[in-house]
Amino acid sequence: MIENEFLFLGLLAEGPKHGYEIKRQIEKELIPTIGLQIKSIYYPLQKMEEEGLIDKVVGQKGRFPARNIYRITPKGKKKFEELISSSFISVERPYFQMDLSLYFLPLVDQNLAKRRLKTRVAILKRIRKDLLELKNNLSRTKPLELILAHDIDLVEAEIASTQKVIVQL
């Protein structure tokens, strides 16, 4: 729930939004760049409203149906500041499923391992290509550029690391 709180509080810190607007922003900007998957937006919003982190008002424009417009509360702003502050300094050791495969490498045919690792490099290069295309085609906002640059750096490091393993086999 903390990840959802961080996401929704951050989006609402930008300004009030209705549910569809929140969902559209997640789908347009965050899923392609961060890969974040959200099953439902309304359940977390309801829970956050119950906790006093956000509130909602019913708004209507012209002949359009009434919709709930969500706003961050002072308590929500404080919680967002805590979450973003701790997020910047939160560092966990990365875990890749491949690490376990490397542990058991002596039990695997080395030619098979090399072929699989070369396939891994090809997949990582495809991911890098997709990230570079995304970087070139997305709206030019500093946060999205930073996210994509970070992800590209990580993929390039994984490619280099996997290639070292192949050479050592």
Q: Is the pTM of this model over 0.85?
A: no
pLDDT (tens digit, 9 = 90+) per residue, 127-163? 999 999 888 887 667 888 888 899 999 999 999 999 9
**Contact residues for 74 (Cβ-Cβ < 8 A; gap 6+):** none
pLDDT (tens digit, 9 = 90+) per residue, 24-69? 988 888 877 777 777 888 899 999 999 999 999 987 777 777 888 9
Q: Taking every pair of C-alpha atoms in the chain, what is the biggest distance, in angstroms?
A: 69
For residue 97, is pLDDT > 90?
no
Q: What angle do CA 39, 42, 43 make, to 5 degrees?
A: 75
